[in-house]
Amino acid sequence: MTFQVGDKVIYPNHGLGVIERIEEKTIFGTTCGFYHLHMAANGTTVLVPLTNADCVGLRRAIDHVEVEHLFELLSDGKIDSQQNWKGRFKDNSDKMRTGSIYDVAVVLKSLSFLSKSKSLSFREKRMLDRARFLIISEVSEVVREHNGNVEARVDHALDRSLLLRNKVLARAKTVRVTAASVVRPVTPRRTIRAS
């Protein structure tokens, strides 16, 4: 995927940047092209080699249709809840590195749900905060709304998702209790008599 000067792009795990210029540089005798990204979050400049843009997951910001799909995903009630901390952290870290806003949304839902039932570790808390930031900053830029408005919308979608998840869990618990308490009719045994 190629980008032009002025394109708004997402650099995985860092957020939104604008391509300020594209230039060639010679480093250790090798000349290659670089995108100069101005990162919106902290004003820093990041150089991304043109040949590595796909490898690092550089992508265009989502559009309005994708924003609506993102909010549907955030509020659908389908939440991964792996119990093993080590496995959960590795899966979530892998998702954060893909650069896909949908993978980041899955991490946000899962850690938000988990944080309601127990305290998160420092690393998971940082990941939760990072996922929130990445989603809110990208959506704010796309829909051109203040971060506070988008944050409220994200929180509403997460609350809806958690509510749906809790309803599903409560319904499953009720079904298990009902199934356990049902008395099965006893069928009489036939006895065979020896003659």
Q: How confident is the model at residue 129 (pLDDT cuts 50, 70, 90)?
A: very high
Instruction: Determine the pLDDT at residue 192.
Output: 61
CA distance 147 to 29: 44
Instruction: Determine the pLDDT at residue 188.
Output: 59
Instruction: Determine the pLDDT at residue 21.
Output: 93
Which residues are CB-neighbours of 120 under 8 A, at least 6 positions away? 111, 114, 128
Which residues are CB-neighbours of 12 under 8 A, at least 6 positions away? 56, 57, 58, 96, 97, 98, 99
Percent of the chain topping pLDDT 90? 48
Fold agreement between 8-60 and 64-178:
no
CA distance 76 to 7: 31
pTM here is: 0.78
CA distance 14 to 86: 23
Q: Look up residue 163 and give its two tokens.
A: 């509510």
Instruction: Determine the pLDDT at residue 181.
Output: 62
**What is the CATH topology of the domain spanning 64-178?**
Methane Monooxygenase Hydroxylase; Chain G, domain 1 (1.20.58)
pLDDT digit string (tens) for 16-63? 899 999 999 888 888 889 999 999 888 899 899 998 888 888 899 899
Q: Look up residue 14 and give its two tokens.
A: 């860092």
Average predicted confidence (pLDDT) for the chain: 86
Instruction: Determine the pLDDT at residue 91.
Output: 93
Domain segments of the chain: what residues? Answer: 8-60, 64-178
Asked if pLDDT for residue 186 goes beyond 60, the answer is no
Give me the CATH code for the 8-60 domain, please: 2.40.10.170
Whether 30 contacts 149, CB under 8 Å: no
Q: Look up residue 86 and give its two tokens.
A: 């080590």
